[in-house]
Structure 1
Amino acid sequence: MSSPSHAPAARWSLLWLLALGLLLGFAFQGTRGLYSPDEGRYVDAALEMLDSGNYLAPAYSPDEVNFSKPPTTYWFIAASFKLFGRNTWAARVPYGLAFLATLLLIYGMGKRLVPDKPWLPALIYACSIFPFMSSNIISTDVFLALCEAVAMLGFVGAAFGDDEGRRKRNVLLMWIGWGLAFLTKGPPGLMPLLAVIPFIASRDGWRGLRRFFPLAGIVLFLAIGLSWYLVVILRYQGLLQYFLQQEVYNRLFTGAHHRHAGFFGWIVVYVPTLVLGIVPWWPGLVRGIRCALSEGTWKTWKNTHSAELFLLMWFVIPLVVFCLVQSRLPLYVLPLFIPLSLLLALEIRERVDLGKVRQRVWLGAWIVLLLAVKGVAAFAWHPPVDNRDAARELATFMPPEHYRALVFVEDTDQSYTIEEATPWGVRLYLDKPVYGIPWRAPQAAAGICHALRTAGSTLVIVDADFKPEDLKPALALCPPSRVTPLGAWRGQAVEWIQM
C-alpha cells in the first residue's frame, strides 16, 4: 500500500498521463483521409451496418458480406458515427480513446510491476513511435492491444498480488479480456496465453494453473468471445469451413493472403517494426539484454527476476509464433509493445527522473517531434491511396446527388484483389454504397446487373486493363436506359449508367 505522502504524487502522475494520452491520441486525429485498403474497408463495413441495420454480419456492400474479421471494430466505428456524425474524425475517435485506455491499463500493470514509477511503462508506450502512430490507423490491432491489456492487467494482478479475494476478481477480469480479444480478432487475441501457461506452470507447477482456469472465467470467455461466432455459423451456411480454412489454416500455413509469406518475410516486416518502433527507448533495451546475459546462470536469473521473466516470455513466445505464421503485417505485433514497455521501464527506472530539467526538455522536444510527424502526415502527404482525394476527384465527373452508388469493376477473379483495389472509403465522403466486381469471376455479369438494378443510377469505374465496351455482354443481361461516358479517372473509364 502506498504511503499518504505518495498518494498525491501518484494522482498527479496519473493526471499528467491522462493529459499526455489525450494530446498524443487526439492531436490531428481527424485531419488525414482514409487510406486504402484497410482503413476504407473497415469504415465502409461500419457504414453498411448503419445503413442496413444488420450489425451481425459485416459487409462491403449491400451484396457482399465480409467475415474476415469479427464485428468489434465495425461496432466501435459505427457507434462513433452515430454519436459524432459521418466524418473522418468520428472514424478515428475510437482509436484515440483506445490508445488512452491502453495507457491507463499499462499504468495499472505498472503499479504492480514498477511500483516506484508506475507511470513509466505507459510513458514509454505512449512516446514510442509505433504505438503512437498506430493510434491514428484504423485497424483491428489497436482494439486488440486494448483487449489484451485488459486481460493481462487481470493476470498481473492475480499472479503478482497477495489478496485472495482480489486474485479471484482479477482472474475473472483476465477472462473477460480474453473474450473481448477473441471477439475482436479471433485466435490471435489469445496469443499472450502462450506465455501465461508456461510461466505459471514453471513457477507454481501444473496444479497452480487451476487457479487461473475457474469455471466462471471459462463461462465468461465463452459467452463474450464465442457467442457471435456461434450465431453467424448457424445462420450462414459454410461459414465454419470459411473460418477454419481461410482465416486459420491459410493465415498460418500459406501465402494466400499475400502478406509477406516465406522464410524471410518476418525479417522484412517485424525487425524494422520493432527496432524503429521502440525509438527512442531502444538503448535501454540493449542494456537490459546485456545485463540479463551477464547475470550468471539462467536458473539464478529467473528465480530473482520473476516479473522480468514473465514479461520476456510474454514478448518472445508470441513473437516467435508471429514469425512462423505466413501472414505477416507490422500491426500484428502492436500488442507486444505492452510487455516491451514494461520491460524497458524495469530496466531504466533508476535513470529516469523527470524532476531533472534536462530530461523534461528532452521529453518535451520528443513529444513536439511526434506531433509534428503526425501533422505532416495529415496535411502535407497525399498518397494515391487517400480515399478522400479519390472522392474529390470522382465528384468532379458528376454531382453525387445524380447517382446512388459506385461500382468498381476490376479485371480479376480474386476476391482478395477486390478487397485491396477497391477504394471502399469513398463511401464516407460521397455517401454512396460502393460495389467491387471481379470481372473474371463466373458471376460477374449477374453482380453488375444486380448492383445497377438496386441503385438505379450508378457511377461505374472500369479497370484500366480493359475497355468500357467489354461490359456490353454483361449490360445486355439488364439493358440500361442510358450509358453516358464521362471520361477517365486515374486511367480508368468512368460511365454514368441509368436503369
Structure 2
Amino acid sequence: MLVRHDWVTLYANGIRYLEKAPLLYWSIAASFKLFGVHTASARLPLALTVLALALAMESFGRRAFGSARAGLYSALILLSSFGIFIFTRITIPDVAVCLWLTLGMLCYWLTEQQEHPSPLLCWGFAACCALDVLTKGLIGIVFPMLIVLAHLLLTRGVRRSITRIRQLFPLSSIILFLAIAVPWHVLIALANPTQGHPGNLSFSHGHWTVPGPTDGNVHGWLWFYFVNEQVLRYLNLRVPRDYDTVPLALFWGLLLIWLMPWSAYVFKAIASVPWMKSLRRQTLDASQSTLLLLGIWAALPMLFFSFSTRQEYYVLPTLPALTLLIAAWLAKEADETESFSVPNRLAIAGQRISVVLLILGSIAALAAGFFILHSQPPSPNTDLATMLRQNPGDYALSFGHFLDLDTRAMGAFRTPLIITAIALFGGTLLNWLLRLKYKPHAANLWLAAGAFGFLLAAHLGLQIFSPILTSYNLAEAIAPQLKPDDMIVINGEYESGSTLGFYLQRNNIHILNGRSSNLWYGSFFPDAPPIFEDNNSIRLKWTGVRRVFLWQSLDDPLPSLPTKAYFIAQSGGKEIVSNQASTY
C-alpha cells in the first residue's frame, strides 16, 4: 500500500491479493507509515486490538453482572487464555473479529436495558457490524445478526420481536452500515473487473473449475471474493483446493485448550444459561436474558463452522462469550462464598474444580519435569530442525509443526519447561489451597498469575522455535551480498518463504513450481509480474549472468540444475543456495 499508494487493491509480492478484507492490512500499513517497516510496527495493530478487546470485556462484564469482579475476571481470563495468546502470534484478523463482535453485542445488550433504545447504541451496533465485514467478510454481519435474532425470538417470540426491531432504528442503522461497509467493496470491484464470461466457470465431480491463464479469462473480484472465498469455502468447494480442514471432534475439543486453564469452569458456566426456560417460552429476568444472549453467542460460531471447512482459530469468536460466562460464574462464587460463614453450593463446586485443575497442573508439571531430566541442551549453533521428527499430516493445523517436537528436541526448551512446571503447578496449587480457605477471589488471581507464567514460557518457546517458522536468519545471511538486480527464488509456495520479502523489503520474488494458494488468482491478471518459474525456466536463469538465490526446504528435492549450486546459508530446515559463489 505504501509503495503503490493504493489502499483499495491489496497486493502481495507484486500480485493482486484479492481474497481478504482490508482492515487489518490498513492498520498495519498505517503503523508502517507512522513507525517505519519493522517487526514491532507490524505487530502493533494486533497488540492494540487485544488491549481494546480486554477493555471492552471488562466493561461488558462489569455492566452485565453489576460486579467489578466480573469485569476484572473477564479481562484477566481473556488476556491469560492460551487461544487469544497463540493466535495473535501470527498475523490473522480473527482477534479483531472478536473485538467488533464484542462491541456490537455490548451495544445490543445496552439497548435491551432500555425501554426505548438509544439511536446511538443502534448505530454503534451497525458500525461494529460494518467494521467486522471490513475485517473478515460476510461473517461480520452474519454472526451478530443471527445472535440478535435468536435472542429476540427466544425472549419475545415472533410478534414482539418484530415490534422490537422496529424500535431499533433499522433504516438509519442500515444506511450507516452501508455507508461504512460498501465504499471499499465498490471501489475494489471497479478496480478488478470481470475479464471473460463467468459462464466459463464449470462444476464437475464435486469441484469448480476456473479458466487458467491460457484461456485468457479471469473472473472478477465480486465472484472471487464473495462466491469463491466465502460461499464456496464454506461449502468446501473453493478453488484452488489448496487447503485442509480440522476434524470436527478436534475443532470442538481444542476449545478447552484455547480457554486453558479457565476451561475447567466452562461447563458450570454453560449450565448457568437458562436454555430450557427460554425454549419453554417462560419469562426471563434481566440476568437470565443476559446469560441467554451469551449462551447463544458462544454456541452459534461453533455450530456455524461445524458444517463447513474450518481451521482451529475459527473458534475465536466464541471465546469472548464463554469468557464472560465463566467470569460471571467466578464472580458469583466469590461473592457468595465471602457472604456466607458456612460452605455453600458454589464454594463446594469451586473446590472440586480446583482439585481437577491441581491434578492436571501436576500432570503437566511432571511431564515438563520428565523432558527436563531426560533431555540435554543442544550444542551451540545447533539447528533445531535437525532434531525434529516430521509429521506432514499434522501441518493442516496452524501450529502443526510443534507436533514435531520429541524428547531430543525438547532439550532446546529447558528454560520454558522449567517456567511451565512452576507456573502450572504453583498456580493450581495456590488456587486449591485458597479455595479450601474460602478465599476464591485470591485463588482466581493466583490462577491467573500461573496462566500468565505459562504464557511467558510459551513466548520464550516461540522465540526458540521461530527459525522453523520464519526465514529471518536466511534473510540476514544474504542481505550483505544481495544486489538490486539479483534474483530471489522460492522453491514451492510463496507463503513458505514469504518473510524473505518482509525482512529484505523486496517485491517480485520469483516462485518455482508454486503457482497456487494466495497468489493463484491474482497471477491471472495482465499486470501480474512474470515471477513464476518452472524447471525449464530456472535452468536457463541458473546459467545466466544474473545471480540467483534459491530458497528451499530441506524436505523438498532440489530441482535438477545444469551447474553447481553454491551453499549460502541454512536455518530452521531451510537453506539458500546460489548459482554463484559468495565473494566475501
* TM-score using structure 2 length: 0.64
- Tell me, in whole angstroms, the C-alpha distance in 2 between the residues paired with 1:192 and 1:406: 47
Kindly indicate whether residue 63 of structure 2 is the aligned counterpart of residue 112 of structure 1.
Answer: yes
Kindly indicate whether residue 567 of structure 2 is the aligned counterpart of residue 487 of structure 1.
Answer: yes
* 1:146-225 matches, cutoff 5 A: 146-159=99-112, 161-162=113-114, 164=116, 167-190=118-141, 191-204=143-156, 205-207=160-162, 208-212=164-168, 214-225=170-181
Kindly indicate whether residue 79 of structure 2 is the aligned counterpart of residue 126 of structure 1.
Answer: yes
Deviation at 1:105, TM superposition (A): 1.2
Deviation at 1:466, TM superposition (A): 5.6
- Tell me, in whole angstroms, the C-alpha distance in 1 between the residues paired with 2:529 and 2:45: 39
Over 3 Å counting, the alpha-carbon distance change for 1:300 and 1:254 in structure 2 is closer
What is the match of residue 277 of structure 1? 258
Deviation at 1:301, TM superposition (A): 7.4
Kindly indicate whether residue 11 of structure 2 is the aligned counterpart of residue 59 of structure 1.
Answer: yes
- Tell me, in whole angstroms, the C-alpha distance in 2 between the residues paired with 1:128 and 1:83: 31
Deviation at 1:232, TM superposition (A): 1.0
Give 1:318's aligned amino acid. P
Kept in 2: contact 1:104–1:122 (CA 8 A): yes
1:399 to 475, 481, 486: 481
- Tell me, in whole angstroms, the C-alpha distance in 1 between the residues paired with 2:138 and 2:549: 38
Over 3 Å counting, the alpha-carbon distance change for 1:142 and 1:440 in structure 2 is closer
Give 1:65's aligned amino acid. R
Q: Which whole-Å deviations, capped at 9, do the CAs of 1:218-256 have from their partners, x for residues lacking one?
A: 111111112111111122111112123321232111264
Give 1:487's aligned amino acid. F
What is the match of residue 414 of structure 1? none
2:550 to 461, 471, 489: 461
- Tell me, in whole angstroms, the C-alpha distance in 2 between the residues paired with 1:485 and 1:100: 48
Deviation at 1:345, TM superposition (A): 1.7
Over 3 Å counting, the alpha-carbon distance change for 1:294 and 1:334 in structure 2 is closer
- Tell me, in whole angstroms, the C-alpha distance in 1 between the residues paired with 2:294 and 2:233: 26
- Tell me, in whole angstroms, the C-alpha distance in 1 between the residues paired with 2:444 and 2:161: 45
Over 3 Å counting, the alpha-carbon distance change for 1:216 and 1:292 in structure 2 is closer
What is the match of residue 409 of structure 2? none
Q: Percent identity?
A: 22
Kept in 2: contact 1:302–1:309 (CA 8 A): no
Provide the alpha-carbon RMSD of the alignment.
3.4
- Tell me, in whole angstroms, the C-alpha distance in 1 between the residues paired with 2:326 and 2:52: 20
Give 1:335's aligned amino acid. P
1:388 to 454, 469, 472: 472
What is the match of residue 498 of structure 2? 424
Kindly indicate whether residue 507 of structure 2 is the aligned counterpart of residue 433 of structure 1.
Answer: yes
Over 3 Å counting, the alpha-carbon distance change for 1:445 and 1:427 in structure 2 is closer
What is the match of residue 50 of structure 1? 2
Give 1:206's aligned amino acid. S
- Tell me, in whole angstroms, the C-alpha distance in 2 between the residues paired with 1:78 and 1:294: 45
Kept in 2: contact 1:404–1:432 (CA 8 A): no
Equivalent residue of 1:384, what SS? helix
What is the match of residue 98 of structure 2? 145
Deviation at 1:72, TM superposition (A): 0.9
- Tell me, in whole angstroms, the C-alpha distance in 2 between the residues paired with 1:436 and 1:154: 48
Q: Which whole-Å deviations, capped at 9, do the CAs of 1:285-313 have from their partners, x for residues lacking one?
A: 12234555898895377735211111111
| Relative contact order, higher structure (CA 8 A, sep 6+) | 1
Kept in 2: contact 1:312–1:339 (CA 8 A): yes
Over 3 Å counting, the alpha-carbon distance change for 1:201 and 1:292 in structure 2 is closer
Deviation at 1:67, TM superposition (A): 0.8
What is the match of residue 475 of structure 1? none
Over 3 Å counting, the alpha-carbon distance change for 1:173 and 1:251 in structure 2 is same
Kept in 2: contact 1:459–1:495 (CA 8 A): yes
What is the match of residue 477 of structure 1? none
Over 3 Å counting, the alpha-carbon distance change for 1:405 and 1:79 in structure 2 is farther
**How many positions carry a matched residue from both structures?**
416
What 5-or-longer segments of structure 1 have no aligned partner? 1-48, 412-417, 471-482
- Tell me, in whole angstroms, the C-alpha distance in 2 between the residues paired with 1:393 and 1:243: 38
Q: Which has the larger radius of gyration?
A: 2
- Tell me, in whole angstroms, the C-alpha distance in 2 between the residues paired with 1:267 and 1:430: 41
What 5-or-longer segments of structure 2 have no aligned partner? 194-219, 336-438, 516-522
- Tell me, in whole angstroms, the C-alpha distance in 2 between the residues paired with 1:293 and 1:209: 23
Over 3 Å counting, the alpha-carbon distance change for 1:112 and 1:406 in structure 2 is farther
Kept in 1: contact 2:126–2:176 (CA 8 A): yes
- Tell me, in whole angstroms, the C-alpha distance in 1 between the residues paired with 2:279 and 2:115: 30
* 1:340-379 matches, cutoff 5 A: 340-352=322-334, 357-378=442-463
Give 1:175's aligned amino acid. A
Deviation at 1:460, TM superposition (A): 4.2
Kept in 1: contact 2:155–2:281 (CA 8 A): no
- Tell me, in whole angstroms, the C-alpha distance in 2 between the residues paired with 1:375 and 1:76: 27
Equivalent residue of 2:120, what SS? helix
Give 1:425's aligned amino acid. T
* 1:237-386 matches, cutoff 5 A: 237=193, 238-254=220-236, 256=238, 257-261=241-245, 265-268=247-250, 270-290=251-271, 298-299=279-280, 303-304=284-285, 305-326=288-309, 328-352=310-334, 357-378=442-463, 380-386=464-470
1:233 to 189, 196, 207: 189
Give 2:481's aligned amino acid. P
Equivalent residue of 2:9, what SS? coil
Deviation at 1:436, TM superposition (A): 4.4
- Tell me, in whole angstroms, the C-alpha distance in 2 between the residues paired with 1:431 and 1:74: 16
Kept in 2: contact 1:114–1:345 (CA 8 A): no
Q: Which whole-Å deviations, capped at 9, do the CAs of 1:411-445 have from their partners, x for residues lacking one?
A: 6xxxxxx3533x21222221222424354869899
